[in-house]
Amino acid sequence: MPAKKEKKVLRYTAIFEPAEEGGYVVTIPALPGCVTEGASFEEAVKMAKDAIKCYCASLLKHGEPIPQEPENEFIGTLEVPILMPA
């Protein structure tokens, strides 16, 4: 009898950076080397989800653990006033 599989929804931070040639480059910090791109924001989101699925499938295939993001980590933007020379 085949082993029972459990479906789990994982959540990862994705960094979307505008590419010089247009579109977006997407990096997933918790998954080293997991980088993709898309011609539009919507395509970049789709490509990032696919890249994460493939990355995790490869880890499972090789018996390696899937990295999880810390639950108590927060990523945000800080505004800091800096006196610049005139």
Mean pLDDT of the chain: 92
Q: Which of 5-19, 49-63, 64-78 has the highest mean pLDDT?
A: 49-63
Asked, for residue 69, whether it belongs to a domain, the answer is no
HEC letters along the chain: CCCCCCCCCCCCCCEEEECCCCCEEEECCCCCCCEEEECCHHHHHHHHHHHHHHHHHHHHHCCCCCCCCCCCCCCCCCCCCCCCCC
For the stretch 7-25, pLDDT in tens is: 888 999 999 999 999 999 9
Asked, for residue 57, whether it belongs to a domain, the answer is yes
pLDDT of 57 > 70? The answer is yes
Whole-model pTM: value is 0.81
Domain count, the chain: 1
Asked, for residue 77, whether it belongs to a domain, the answer is no
Asked, for residue 81, whether it belongs to a domain, the answer is no
The domain containing residue 23 runs over which residues?
Answer: 15-61
pLDDT of 1 > 70? The answer is no
